[in-house]
Amino acid sequence: MPRFDSPRLLADIGGTYARFALETGPGEFTQTRSLRCADHADFHAAVSAYLQSLSWGDAGPQQIAHAAVAIANPVEGDRVRMTNYHWQFSIDEMRQRLGLDTLVVVNDFTALAMALPRLADADVRQVGGGQARRPSVIGLLGAGTGLGVSGLIPAGEGWIALGTEGGHVNFGPRDAREMDILQFAWRTLDPASGHVSYERLISGPGLELIYRALADRNGATVEPLLAPAITQRALEENDPLCLETLEVFCELLGTCAANLAVTLGSLGGIYIGGGIVPRLGGWFDRSPFRARFEDKGRFREYVSAIPTFVITAEHATFKGASAILDGQLRNLQASPGSAILGQIRRARSELSPAELRVADLVLAQPRSVLNDPIAEIARAAGVSQPTVIRFCRSLGCEGLSDFKLRLASGLTGTVPVTHTQVNTNDSMLELGAKVLGNTASAILQVRSHLNRDTIDRATEMLLAAHRIEFFALGHYGVVAQDAQFKFLRFGMPCGAYTDPRLQLLAADVLREGDVAVVISSGGRLPELLAVVEKAQERGAKVVAITASQSPLAKKADVALIVDHVEDIATHLPMVSRILHLLVIDILAVGVAMRRNPDSIAALSGGEDEVAKPARTTAPGVSTASPLSRLTSHSR
């Protein structure tokens, strides 16, 4: 078995316990420790306590360069705030304090989901019938301090893990007893909100709540018990109330698991982890869980065919976190120049004192440097702006933009696909972070759905066109106007039409050899569909930038798919309009690359270039390239 160059630190952080281990080689976990969160002031203190407890033997302490943390909390951006405990920290700041090159922080059930394909038959136990289909979607849930929910979607030869907070969906009672439990929860938890989630009941605190609710229902006075004591009395002493509590718990888990199965279409099976169910052993197999799972009315036959498994592997979450970390490191190693921070550390002795101040700033605050303009970077480092440029060039970069591109690939590697709801009580900083995060996520989704063949066909149509006409309505009119501006700079005859009457008139004079580019988010507007019919009737080709399976996509000769739903009744189409602009950019760059280089050079003839003879550089595009101006969205 190959060994890593240095041990990797793995952590599984819950609301009660923080578990740690070192991974010395693929799947080789040593020095496993479990620490109580309450015994440590914060996350850094818990990690430090674990590291101080390590025994290195005769070889002496080894440097730990890479770490992965699975945490019972949604992970969005750099700041982590635990839902079920008070710990919070900055990922990048924690990486620096621990002296790590890489620190990956993921949701604990995302990590557990990524472990599922790596589990052997001996690592799980099937409960009930059903047969898993491969490859198919897999569902995952588990109860501990909270209720974790995730899933796996097959993607080529790998898997995509879903980062969800499905444990917070509303609890729905199935019978009078469960209705009494819900009413008790309403009275005792948060009477003002009226919201009771499944996590409030299917968890350690949930066991205690069910116990108190059943006692109240039965008119009994009982001593307060914690979840471990309730479970022990149910399994060992046959305490009637504790036994009923555990049975209700398993029934609710069965309902929740069935809901997940039909929501995801989890024909690959439902897996159950967490800290409670695996400890119930064979009793859980005989519990009401599977009967409730299959009790799905008209969908009984559907869910009965789906198998359910209990995860019994000791280090399942560690395996998943290790897999995510390993994938991150492979991505970084495969990206040219992505190890820019390591390069800076190695080059420190060769830098001038002024350049060294820039290097220290980048190493201490890489994400700030990534976002700040050159003037702010120079001010923070206490150097001149030319010094910042010299520093970038000393690392083999063409300038600050090229340096930032390499720094970004080294810091991010992969970006999770998420959407964060904007709330009325958000601060301006939170609002900005959410809008930018949602836009970045949407861009990544479109990137994963791009079809090379359709882009090539659309580009060839535009190159061969006698004339190009761009059609859009409403808020998407600016996309058509932006496209007209770009293609006119190529010297290509084109126009942009955003008025329905002018659109029909323009479509009526199209002829064979012309191309109509129709831009529509929903692809259902009758005015634009009429333009398509008129254009094709005249012998012109139609390229659509629209949603998949829309009437416009089906009518067009080539459809470039942009799937992003926005409710234009309540707000302006922000993200989808940006996505359409980016597709226009893809087409413009594709056309520019295939045309005569002399025609590309004509792009430098804009008014702003006359005012500023010195070229500015788009991220990752050399100033020597005539495409640098075309792809620079911000100067």
pLDDT digits (tens, 9 = 90+) for 469-504: 999 998 899 999 999 999 998 889 999 999 999 999
Query: In degrees rounded to 5, what are phi and psi of residue 22?
Result: -105, 135
Query: Does the pLDDT of residue 426 top 80, yes or no?
Result: no
Mean pLDDT of the chain: 83
The answer to whether residues 49 and 62 touch, using CB atoms and an 8 Å cutoff, is no
Please state the residue numbers annotated as binding site.
Answer: 11-16
Judged against a pLDDT cut of 70, whether residue 527 lies above it is answered with yes
Length of the chain: 635
Q: Is the peptide bond before 500 cis (omega within 30 degrees of 0)?
A: no
Q: What is the pLDDT of residue 571?
A: 47
Rounded CA-CA distance 317/319 in Å is: 5
Percent of the chain scoring above 90 in pLDDT: 50
Question: Pick the residue with more confidence: 131 or 475?
Answer: 131
154 Cβ neighbours under 8 A, 6+ residues apart: 135, 136, 137, 268
Name the more confident of 47 and 548.
47
Q: What distance in Å separates the CA atoms of residue 71 and residue 92, rounded to the nearest whole number?
A: 16
C-alpha distances (whole Å) from 474 to each of 94, 223, 564 are: 47, 66, 17
Binding positions for ATP: 11-16
SS3 507: helix
pLDDT of residue 570: 42
The pTM for the full model equals 0.54
**pLDDT category of residue 569 using cuts at 50, 70 and 90:** very low
pLDDT score, position 454: 84
Q: Quote the CA–CA distance of 140 and 152 in Å, as a whole number.
A: 8
Burial status of residue 283 (CB atoms within 10 A of its CB: 0-12, 13-18, 19 or more):
middle
Q: Give yes or no for residue 189 having a pLDDT over 90.
A: no
Residue 598 predicted with pLDDT over 70: no
Whether residue 596 has pLDDT greater than 70: no
What pLDDT is attached to residue 440?
Answer: 72
More confidently predicted of 445 and 485: 485
pLDDT band for position 15 (50/70/90)? confident
Higher-scoring residue by pLDDT: 88, 364? 88
